[in-house]
């Protein structure tokens, strides 16, 4: 059976002036927050860490890197903020390139905030939408999911493959990108399926 359709995502890449390494073996050294405004007051809502993956040099890994890549699944349109975690001491360290001076000790990366904006993309087909209004299905649900088995055709086997993923709680079945595998995903699937996908 072909792999079920999985959303494509673009990474957010942070590039630092020097080399960096996380002090954490697997967890994210960052917090990502969705920013909403009430008047001029920003309100920050933490994005579930299970909805994104951070690629960074980890303890014990060889090599050096100035980049950190964050690959998110289903970020809502709008402004987001990335910052260092404050619940862990020094989650990201600055390193030197060999040959390092004698006695060199990696230094903590100073706190920072990086903002990025996700624009609405009705059906996630790569074409920015002017608004979330007028999208035939949920703007953050992918139109390509109608061809769930990714064989190039929207057909009955896509329904079978979708329900197989849905019943098994597969992340690929979270089509409305709310972090849960539930009836909303069925609604999103059939909305795009009924109009033939992208």
Give the pLDDT confidence of 136-161 residue by residue, as tens digits: 776 566 777 788 887 888 999 999 99
Backbone phi, psi, residue 72, to 5°? -105, 150
Give the pLDDT confidence of 11-21 residue by residue, as tens digits: 889 999 999 99
Cis peptide before 99 (omega within 30 of 0): yes
pLDDT given for residue 123 in this prediction: 60
In DSSP notation, 120-156 reads P-GGGSS---S-STT-SS-TTS-GGGGSTT-SSS--H
Tell me what the mean pLDDT of segment 165-185 comes to. Answer: 83
Tell me what the mean pLDDT of segment 86-104 comes to. Answer: 92
Does position 45 have pLDDT exceeding 60, yes or no?
A: yes
The ranges assigned to domains in the chain are 11-118, 122-194
pLDDT given for residue 148 in this prediction: 86
Find all residues with CB under 8 Å of 136, minimum gap 6, and list them: 122, 191, 195
Does position 51 have pLDDT exceeding 60, yes or no?
A: yes
């Amino acid at each position: 059976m072909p792999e079920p359709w999985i959303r494509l995502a673009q990474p957010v890449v942070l590039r630092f002036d020097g080399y960096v390494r996380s002090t954490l073996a697997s967890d994210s050294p960052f917090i990502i927050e969705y920013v909403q405004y009430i008047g001029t007051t920003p309100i920050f809502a933490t994005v579930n860490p299970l909805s994104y993956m951070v690629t960074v040099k980890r303890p014990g890994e060889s090599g050096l890197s100035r980049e950190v890549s964050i690959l998110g699944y289903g970020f809502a349109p709008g402004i987001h903020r990335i910052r260092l975690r404050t619940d862990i001491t020094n989650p990201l360290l600055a390193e030197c390139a060999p040959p390092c001076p004698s006695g060199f000790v990696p230094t903590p990366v100073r706190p920072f905030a990086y903002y990025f904006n996700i624009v609405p993309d009705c059906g996630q087909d790569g074409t920015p939408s002017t608004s979330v209004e007028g999208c035939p299905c949920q703007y953050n649900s992918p139109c390509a999911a109608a061809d769930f088995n990714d064989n190039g055709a929207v057909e009955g086997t896509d329904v079978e493959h979708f329900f197989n993923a849905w019943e098994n709680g597969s992340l690929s079945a979270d089509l409305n990108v709310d972090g849960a595998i539930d009836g909303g995903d069925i609604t999103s699937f059939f909305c795009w399926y009924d109009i033939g996908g992208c």
